Structures are given as structure tokens and as C-alpha cells.
Amino acid sequence: MDTLNALLGGFATAATPVNLMWALAGCLVGTAVGVLPGIGPALAVAMLLPLTTQVEPTASMIMFAGIYYGGMYGGSTTSILLNTPGETASMVTALEGNRMAKHGRAGAALATAAIGSFVAGTIATVMLTLFAPWLAGVALKFGPPEYFSLMVLAFITVSAVLGSSVLRGMVALCLGLAIGLIGIDEISGQPRYTLGVPELVDRIEVTLVAVGLFAVGEALYFALYEGRDAPTRNRMSSLYMTKAEWRRSWPAWLRGTFIGFPFGTVPAGGTEIPTFLSYALEKKLSKHRGEFGTAGAIEGVAGPEAANNATAAGVLVPLMTLGIPTSTTAAVLLSAFQNYGITTGPQLFQTSSTLVWALIASLYIGNLMLLVLNLPLVGLWVKLLLIPRHWLYAGILVFATVGVYGMRQSSFDLLLLFGIGLLGVVMRRFDFPTGPVIVGMILGPMAEAQFRNAMSIGEGRLTVFIERPLSAAVLALCVAVVALPLWMRRRRARSGGEEMAATA
């Protein structure tokens, strides 16, 4: 009952005309960056972080939430209509969505993606509403050792599970941790790695690194390698879904939702695993298995797209209740909270309850807005794909300048931005994931503080982390997450070798 009252209060805050405008602005920006190739919601929020110095927290968090959800809706449009995979989140949607579009059913694919996103987004937001306050209550009992262990788990899953290589993910994570070290140590007040440069004493802004890696790095990589391959576009068709298509879509939406949400809530980050799982499940259950990979099966779009949006909602649970970001966008959102001096964590529901509930309410409102924006108006968004890419990327660089310079008014930051852009090109070329850098640099200092507090509690003994059952369990999970895939690969290699020996 308390939850319901709080939620109603949230709606009262979020539904004021001003806040509705912010939500609409966020949904528009989010859909646009989702549709445009090369930029995503993490980058858009990062570029708009300077707003946090001027706009009041509720308004800007409502807008950022709109961008976050909007990016998920817009991404599917591009992956269905363009023959290049857009963001990682919509890669699976592209598998079947592209096939459908090639066979003249682009409209139906877009419709099932948009409605599925709405259904999943709404159900997942309901789950978030029910689950987050409960988890926050549980998390109030956590101490520094538990937090540290959970953060280690987040580090490991973000860097080891997501990328194609554990080694490369770990390198990216360490890079992020190293960047996070620069500046004044929060506990002792000692400067670290500042080289006497005032900009470095103040720490490197998350905006700068995110924009450098995602916008500048992406643009330079595009100039270097990708300019010559022009993407081909699929033709639009009627958005009308037949009765049979509805019947095939809705179970897939529901299954996708229930796969996606839990994956978002555990610090396993990212949407790759749940969307692939949903795809595999739909393929297995489908009565039209022949359409998968040939004419394009609508379940193969509906399920993963729902999973994708449900995961996005799930990611907000650890972010709001534990203060642990498990995806790049969540990490950037966390730094928005930090800019306001708001500590995310279990206290958030008590100290900033108006903000939190307005944010949650705006997720419901945003979902509805996005359905309207993306279904009847999809034709307008498709027009964005007509912008010549040399102007699009040049424009992105201008916006990157605003975002980075607007934060601290320093030309030094713009030079640093270019340097990080070069780093981004190298990472992209050699397939190093960039997400762990961002998560490492934001979560690193927090994990360090928890570690040192825990060590104080344990009076300098490392055993404090295994003496407490919850912390020990989480650390054991960390070991399992790293060791299991290695062990399975080795076993597979061995059994593969035996088979080879048997056939030889």
C-alpha cells in the first residue's frame, strides 16, 4: 500500500506540465540517438551532463530516463531498416528483423518491436516498482564488505562476461580503474597522479571519457575504416500486424520480459545475454522454425526486443537500490546523480523519495510517449537515416565539444578528449570493449572507499570479506563467474579432442 501511495505521489510530481515537457524532450532525444547510427543513449546522457549544473535534479533525471528508454526503442528501428547492426542491444533484433524487412514485412517487424518494447517496458517497470523498495530495505543491512564484494562482482561480470575475450575486458577495466585513480583521494585527501595539472586534481570527468570513447573514437574510426561501405536500406511497409502475427507476438513479448528483467537486476550487466537467450528460446518453441534465418520470424523480433527493454528497466534496480551500475548508460546515469551530490543506494528511497518516485512514474509515462512517438511517427524517424553521414558525424563532434567544454570550461579537456578518442580507435580496432572503462572509472573510487572502510572494520584483516556470509557468497560467485567458462571451454576442448581422436 505504501508503494502505491508513493507511486501516486510520483505521478503527481512527474505529470506537471514542466516535467512532462522534460520527459517528452528526453523521449525525443532518446529515440533520435537510438535511430542514428554511431551514437547511443549513454553518449547522449553524457553529452547532456552539463545540464546537471543548471537544471533541478527531478527534471533532468526524468529527461535522462526518457533518453535511456528512448534509445532502446529507436535502436530497433535502425537495426530493422538498415543492413548494418546498430547498437549491441539491438543486434539480435537485427537477425530476424532484417530478414523480415527484406521480404517486405519491415512494417510488421517495426510494429512488433515497438509494441513489444512498450509491453515489456511497462511490465518491467511494474516489477521495478514492486521489487526496488523491497531490495532497498534488504540492502540497508549491507555493510562495506558486502558492498565491496558486490562491486567486485559487477566489475567481473561487466568485463569478463560481456566481451569476446576475458583478457581484453580486464585490460579495459584496469584502464578505467587507473583513470578513476587520478585526482584527490576522497578518504585521505592525498593527490594521486595529478602531475600538478589543476584539471587532473579535479578528477577526469566521466563525460569526457564517455564522449571521447564513444563519439570521438567512433568518428575517427569511421573516417579511418568505414566511410567506404555505404549501408543499404530496406523499404518501409505497412505497420499493420495480422491476427496471426499478434498471436505469435504476444507470448514472445511476455517470455522476453521475464527473461530480460532478472538479467538486468543481477550485476550481470548488458543486454547481450538475455536477448540471445530469448532468441534461442523463441527459435526452439516456434511452430514456424523454417522462417528463422530465411523469411524472418516475427517471434525472433518480438522476444529479443521485449527482453532488451525489460533488461533496461532491470538495470535500474541495482543502480537505485545499491548504487551499482551494471551497464554503460547506468554508469553515466550514476554520475548524473553524483553531480547533484545524491548518493544512490538503499538510503535513496528515504532521502530522495520524491525524486525516486517521480523518476519511476516518469518511466511509465515515458513508455506511453515512446509508443506513440515510435509507432505512428516511425516514418519521421526514418528520415533521420537520410542525413549524409559526413554531416552527421561532423555534427556529433560539435555536440561533443559542447558537452565536454560546457562541463568545466577548459581547453585542456578538449585536448584530452582527442587523446581519449585516439585510445577509442585503438580499442575499437583491436576489439577491446569500452564499457568496462566507464564502469571502472565510476565504480573504482566507490569500491576503493568500501574496501578501505571494510578493512577498518576488520582492523586490517582481509578475512573480513569471508567472515560475513553474504560477502563470502558473493565473492564465491565472482570466482565461479570467471572459472566456470574457462573450465567449460577446457572440457569442451578435451572432449572435442577425444572425438577427433576417435574419428581418426
Residues at the contact surface with another protein, assessed by CB under 8 A: 50-51, 53-55, 165, 167, 170-171, 174, 177-178, 181, 185, 187-188, 190, 192-193, 216, 219-220, 222-230, 389-391, 393-395, 397-399, 401-402, 405-406, 409, 411, 414-415, 417-418, 421, 426, 429-431, 444, 448, 451-452, 455-456, 459-461
Q: Is residue 456 within 8 Å of 250, Cβ to Cβ?
A: no
Q: Which is nearer to another protein, 159 or 286 (CB)?
A: 159
Phi-psi domain of 408 (left: phi exceeds 0; alpha: psi -120 through 50; beta: other): alpha
Instruction: Name the minimum Å distance from CB 267 to another protein.
Output: 20
Nearer of residues 233 and 452 to another protein, judged by Cβ? 452
Report the residue number, 60 or 125, with the smaller CB distance to another protein: 60
The candidate with the shortest Cα–Cα distance to 142, out of 321, 266, 269, 316, is: 321
Cross-strand bridge partners of residue 184: 191
| Burial class of residue 497, CB neighbours in 10 A (0-12, 13-18, 19+) | exposed
Minimum CB separation from another protein for residue 454, in Å?
Answer: 9
User: Position 8: which residue type?
Assistant: L
Q: Which is nearer to another protein, 376 or 496 (CB)?
A: 496
Supply angle C-alpha 321, 323, 326, rounded to 5. Answer: 105
For residue 401, the minimal CB distance to another protein (Å) is 6
- How near is the Cβ of 195 to another protein at its closest, in Å? 9
Q: Which residue has the cell 543492413?
A: 83
CB-based burial label for 243 (10 Å; 0-12, 13-18, 19+)? exposed
Rounded to 10 degrees, what is the CA torsion of 106, 256, 311, 378? 20
Contacts of 391 (CB under 8 A, 6+ apart): none
Give me the numbers of helices (H) and strands (E) for the chain, helices first please.
Answer: 23, 2
Nearest-10 crossing angle of helices 299-321, 57-81 = 160
Quote the least distance from Cβ 368 to another protein, whole Å.
27
Taking the least distance from each CB to another protein, the nearer of 25 and 280 is 25
Nearer residue to another protein within complex by CB, 155 or 258 = 155
11 or 405: whose CB is closer to another protein?
A: 405
- Residue 260's Cα: distance from chain center in Å? 13
Residue-by-residue DSSP string for 14-69: HTSHHHHHHHHHHHHHHHHHHHSTT--HHHHHHHTGGGGGTS-HHHHHHHHHHHHH
The smaller minimum CB distance to another protein, of residues 134 and 225, is found at 225
Burial class (CB in 10 A: 0-12, 13-18, 19+), 449: middle
Question: In whole angstroms, how close is the CB of 339 to another protein at the nearest point?
Answer: 13
Residue 60 to residue 213: CA distance in whole angstroms: 24
Helix (H) or strand (E) holding 195: none
Of 256 and 421, which has the nearer Cβ to another protein? 421
Residue 134 beta carbon to another protein: minimum distance, rounded to whole angstroms: 33
Shortest distance (Å) from residue 157 CB to another protein: 17
Please, which residue, 244 or 426, has the CB nearer to another protein? 426
DSSP state at residue 290: G
Question: Which letter, b or e, does each residue of 186-208 get, where b requires 16 or more Cβ atoms within 10 Å of its Cβ?
Answer: eeeeeeeebeeeebbeebbbbbb
Nearer to another protein, 50 or 303 (CB): 50
Alpha carbons 385 and 236: distance in angstroms, whole number: 13
Instruction: List Cα–Cα distances, 78 to 26, 298, 376, in angstroms.
Output: 19, 17, 16
Q: Which residue number, 228 or 383, has a Cβ lying nearer to another protein?
A: 228
Cell numbers found for residue 257: 520480459
Q: Which is nearer to another protein, 107 or 421 (CB)?
A: 421
3-state secondary structure of 301: helix
